[in-house]
Structure 1
Amino acid sequence: MTDTTTSRGMADTLKIVSWNINSVRFRIEIVERFLKEAQPDILCLQETKVIDGDFPAAPFRRLGYEHIVLHGQRMHHGVAILSRLPIVEDDRLDWQANGEARHIGVRLPNGMRIENVYVPAGGDIPDRTLNPKFGQKLDFVERMTRWSETLAVPTLLVGDFNIAPLPSDVWGHKQLLKVVSHTPIEVDALDALKASNSWVDLGRHFHPAPARLHTWWSYRSPDWTRNDRGRRLDHMWATREIADKAVAHHVFEDCRSWLKPSDHVPIMTEFTA
């Protein structure tokens, strides 16, 4: 398995992965393969598409992920955190303000919080009047921003943000300016979230713009490798004290070509333990 990687002298590290799996039950085989090959300590999943009682916990436990925290929902949404390390506490914040299962957070014994989020896609029309889903997306990010402003603990924010903020985060900046996920109003909203707590974008910390950095390719493309019409929708952001411990960031593009792939690929940051 190859990946896009930049590192600084890795030693004993804590490996944390984020992956929009687009149905964990349907893709459990590639999840198991990835865990065996990448050996992360913590896996944060989005779009699990399963209620908690039907979550396929057994394969994870066989691989050593004994600590499982779920926030599921039938058919849609759903997030999960699976860990080899003990989890001290967890929370579920309703940034969608309608009960959708889009967030789960935990605290590790070392005091680090991990907040795993699945931001709404926002529909196809970038106008909150014509498309209420777009307004819900902007409101979701606004609620995250208000939360972030009062955050006072070392935190790693991960997940599918469904926004590609930089021109080099998409295959065609000019072509996508009016396409949901790269519109100026979404980018402005995400920039405000980032500024609210001086978050460090770990992907761009290790792969500075304008380097190509994509994590999602549409199923509509018959050959994603040939067209390479990707977007960076998946992110890992850290507060400064956590960012200072980061030593590497990986984007596992090969997973997009595995059997029954998600349209997203896993991303992983390594931290000094």
Structure 2
Amino acid sequence: MAFTLATWNINSVRLRQGLVSKLMTEEMPDVLCLQECKSPVEKIPLEVFRALGYTHMVARGQKGYNGVAILSKLPLEEVGAHDFADLGHARHVAARLENGVTIHNFYVPAGGDVPDREVNEKFGQKLDYLTQMRDHFHAETPEKAILVGDLNIAPREDDVWSHKQLLKIVSHTPIEVEHLGETMDAGKWVDVTRKDIPEGKLYSWWSYRARDWDAADKGRRLDHVWATPDIANAAHSSRILRAVRGWEQPSDHAPVFASFDL
């Protein structure tokens, strides 16, 4: 069974349903995982997506914030969701395909602006969220699984436009990178994107604050596709669709793709 999967922080699925439809029509991933849907589940425009062949969905949502959804052309069943760090946020949902592959869709907290949990509660929540993710994957070692989403951390030096200048900026601080690494190690996860594209600068997010995001190119790789070792070698053709960041009224994230031959 071969399939292509994409992950995309859409920054409001209702506001940008036209962009989701455009991606579905032009790129046709078999499975599309969205984060920051900012919508109750019942208000996600599923009928629009069903008309394009995405007849299956599992999701968690809330009004105006967070929210994760897995839209699929392939049959899938929900296998649960976790509220790590007990935040009461819709930040995780998991589903299983008919071939037995489990897909985890995550939206890790951004962590605010100050990388100090003593003065910034949101940063502490982010670290706690990652710690509980780590502990979960230690307790239940995943098999035949894919983890995707906006993990809100750019771990490698070449995942940001300037390693030196971002060392004290939330999303690239050493403590965040350490926490993400521990989470990855706990599940023995393989970074599929970097398996396929091992060298060079690689970004999936560019700030709205830049007057010309493309020319400035001050990006970060915040969006990830991981797989467990038993299926990681079946992954290929990873890519980030940078051009999507330039669509009209875009999300500040670009979708990340990977294909699997299983």
Q: TM-score band (shorter)?
A: over 0.9
The alignment partner of 1:214 has SS state of: coil
Match of 2:3 in 1: 14
1:6 is matched with none
1:69-102 Cα distance to aligned partner (Å, 9 max, x none): 1200000000001111111333111113121000
Which residue matches 1:99? 88
How far apart, in 1, do the equivalents of 2:191 and 2:80 lie?
23
Corresponding position of 1:71:
60
CA distance in 1, matches of 2:106, 2:114: 23
Q: 1:152 to 1:234 in 2, by over 3 A?
A: closer
Which aligned pairs between 1:92-171 and structure 2 lie closer than 5 A? 92-149=81-138, 150-171=140-161
What CA distance in whole angstroms lies between the structure 2 residues aligned with 1:46 and 1:200? 21
What is the distance in 2 between the residues matched to 1:260 and 1:158? 24
Is 1:232 aligned with 2:208?
Answer: no
TM-score normalised per structure 2:
0.97
- Does residue 175 (structure 1) correspond to residue 174 (structure 2)? The answer is no
Residue 39 of structure 2 is aligned to residue 50 of structure 1: yes
* Unaligned residue ranges in structure 1 (runs of 5+): 1-11
Q: Using CA pairs below 8 Å that are at least 6 residues apart, which structure has the higher relative contact order?
A: 1
How far does residue 151 in structure 1 lie from its aligned partner after superposition?
Answer: 2.0
Residue 53 of structure 1: CA displacement?
1.6
Q: CA deviation at 1:194?
A: 1.3
For structure 2, list consecutive stretches of 5 or more residues without a partner in the other structure: none
The residue number in structure 2 matching 1:220 is 209
Structure 2: how far apart are the matches of 1:201 and 1:193?
12
Question: Aligned partners of 2:84, 2:156: CA distance in 1, in Å?
Answer: 24
Structure 1 SS opposite 2:76:
coil
For residues 133-179 of structure 1, give each alpha carbon's deviation from its aligned partner in whole angstroms, at most 9, with x where no partner exists: 00000000001001111224211000000000011000010000000
Q: Is the 8 A contact 1:69 1:90 kept in 2?
A: no
* Structure 1 residue ranges (4+ consecutive) displaced by more than 4 angstroms after TM superposition: none
Is the Cα–Cα contact under 8 Å of residues 96 and 102 in structure 1 kept in the other structure?
Answer: no
Structure 1 residues 242 and 152 mapped into 2: Cα distance closer, same or farther (>3 Å)?
same
Letter in 1 for 2:150: D
* 194-203 or 120-129, which deviates more: 194-203
TM-score normalised by length of structure 1: 0.94
| In structure 1, distance between residues paired with 2:249 and 2:77 | 34
> What is the aligned partner in structure 1 of residue 175 from structure 2?
185
- Asked if the contact 2:161/2:218 (under 8 Å) is kept, the reply is yes
In the alignment, is the contact (CA less than 8 A) between 1:88 and 1:107 conserved in 2? yes
Native 8 Å contact 2:143 2:230 kept in 1: no
When residues 26 and 213 of structure 1 are mapped into structure 2, their CA distance, relative to the original with a 3 A threshold, is: same
RMSD of the TM alignment (CA)?
A: 1.0
- Identity over aligned pairs, percent: 49
Partner of 2:192: 202
Specify the code of the residue in structure 2 equivalent to 1:242. I
